[in-house]
Amino acid sequence: MNKTGSISCCDAVGMALGHPAVDVSACDETNHSTPVAVEMPGNLYFAAESGDVNAQLKLACLFLRDNGERDYAEAFRWYQKAADLDNREAQFGIGFMYLEGLGVSRDYKEAFRWFFLAAKQGDTSAQANLGWLYENGFGVPRNDAEAVRWYQMAALNEDPYAALSLGLMYSRGCCQPTDPDAAYIWISIAALTGIIEAEDEQEKLEETMTPEQISVALKRAKACISSGYKDCPEI
């Protein structure tokens, strides 16, 4: 990895899971669970060709699935059509394909470019992936401040992996937050929202905390979640 120009304050590299929080299951948000044989009539193609963004996204997702119809080139083509209409899901999809090298050569700079476009429109997964790219220096110079900023944005938009990554960066001493308990709180938020890996990280931090500190921090983590991420640690 090229670290030229890096302003990272950490030696450790990589997100909590060693990989950005992205997968094809994002397609499920548009309810594409019907078998392909039923979901791909001519009128779907007609709608997509006529500029229907939802139809274009549906076709892209269908062609990404491992269901006997997988065709990355077609998936990319339909994502591109929707992205040309400034659709953030399509922008994220193109970023994902460049990130993973699906039907295109893996290109972190292109992944960054497309994630950035989607993130600016509020796509939470794109925001989390920008954090991962900045943290690791893929496609851009490593920059912990930017990684924290994007992880924070995604975490406040209720992305649990971003919450874990944010907490881990703080626990390693990256870009220290104003709140001394922020690392434990964000990691606890990830654990409370179903990220099993976060529980191990909780235990590590608890070795340096008093029972009272743990109790107070857990209450604050729960308060953050119950408030709809309005009452969270100061960054």
At residue 158, the pLDDT reads 95
Residues 196-217 as b or e (16 or more Cβ within 10 Å = b): eebeebbeebeeeeeeeebeeb
How does pLDDT run across 82-141, given as a tens digit for each residue?
999 999 999 999 999 999 999 999 999 999 999 999 999 999 999 999 999 999 999 999
Dist. CA 201–CA 233, nearest whole Å: 18
At residue 15, the pLDDT reads 37
At residue 41, the pLDDT reads 57
68, pLDDT greater than 70: no
143 Rama sector, left if φ>0, alpha if ψ -120 to 50, beta otherwise: beta
Q: Is 195 helix (H, G, I), strand (E, B) or coil?
A: coil
31, pLDDT greater than 80: no
Confidence band (pLDDT; 50, 70, 90) for 178? confident
How does pLDDT run across 36-57, given as a tens digit for each residue?
333 555 788 899 989 999 999 9
Mean pLDDT of 155-177: 92
Cβ-proximal residues to 112 (8 Å cutoff; 6+ apart), any chain: 95, 130, 133, 138, 139, 140
28, pLDDT greater than 90: no
Question: Burial level of 62, CB count in 10 A (0-12/13-18/19+)?
Answer: buried
Mean pLDDT of 149-153: 96
At residue 24, the pLDDT reads 44
Is residue 188 within 8 Å of 217, Cβ to Cβ?
yes
At residue 27, the pLDDT reads 61
**Got the DSSP string for 8-76?**
---S--S-TTSS-S--GGGGGGG---S-HHHH--HHHHHHHHTT-HHHHHHHHHHHHSSSS---HHHHH
Mean pLDDT of 140-149: 95
At residue 165, the pLDDT reads 96
At residue 2, the pLDDT reads 33
179, pLDDT greater than 90: no
